[in-house]
Structure 1
């Protein structure tokens, strides 16, 4: 499928659909201070989360996730306590499905 990015919304440019989850993750911001994220959806390429911290677009986070360990991510957007991030390195599919299974158990 080919998209012309000038006419496609940000949601349509996603590489993969997101799976809905409800998971509290520990994250470390640019200043290395710990924060709690409520991850609400996830894909092998990124996630959306809620957080009370005041992050900015372009900030980098280290997010602790079961199965995969530390996922380094860049904040792509922030709005009203929500943020969307892209992982620096995509999660391989085998690990991703194992991660989803772990998150669904909780």
Structure 2
């Protein structure tokens, strides 16, 4: 039996991304706590624009509003940016409640 997550990156790239401005402290197994800034998020993952000590394949745990602690895996890294895929999909109602907290400005929210 293989170790690690079975991630299907190509299927998830079509997910709607919501712009956010959310600083987070991620728990990294080897490096401990890492300060990062989430700049967009979807129900399947998120992108950070400040990922100093992250490499493709790294696993992190982040704490998000409504959702709480959730594990994510680094899918790609480019310069200071990195993309992460959640270990599980966030339920639509929880995701929308989280977006309302992360995007207090209604002008940023997508129309339903």
1:97 alignment partner in structure 2: 96
Q: Is the 8 A contact 1:41 1:49 kept in 2?
A: yes
Q: Is the 8 A contact 2:21 2:37 kept in 1?
A: yes
- TM-score normalised per structure 2: 0.78
1:25 alignment partner in structure 2: 24
1:7 alignment partner in structure 2: none
Q: Does the C-alpha gap of structure 1 residues 42 and 80 become closer, same or farther in structure 2, counting only changes over 3 Å? A: same
Aligned pair count reads: 97
4+ residue runs of structure 1 moved beyond 4 angstroms?
Answer: 10-13
SS of equivalent residue, structure 2 residue 97: helix
Q: Does the C-alpha gap of structure 1 residues 48 and 68 become closer, same or farther in structure 2, counting only changes over 3 Å? A: same
CA deviation after TM superposition for structure 1 residue 34, in Å: 0.9
Rounded Cα–Cα distance in structure 1 between residues aligned with 2:10 and 2:47 = 12
SS of equivalent residue, structure 1 residue 105: coil
| Root-mean-square deviation (Å) | 2.0
CA deviation after TM superposition for structure 1 residue 13, in Å: 5.5
Q: Is the 8 A contact 2:57 2:73 kept in 1?
A: yes
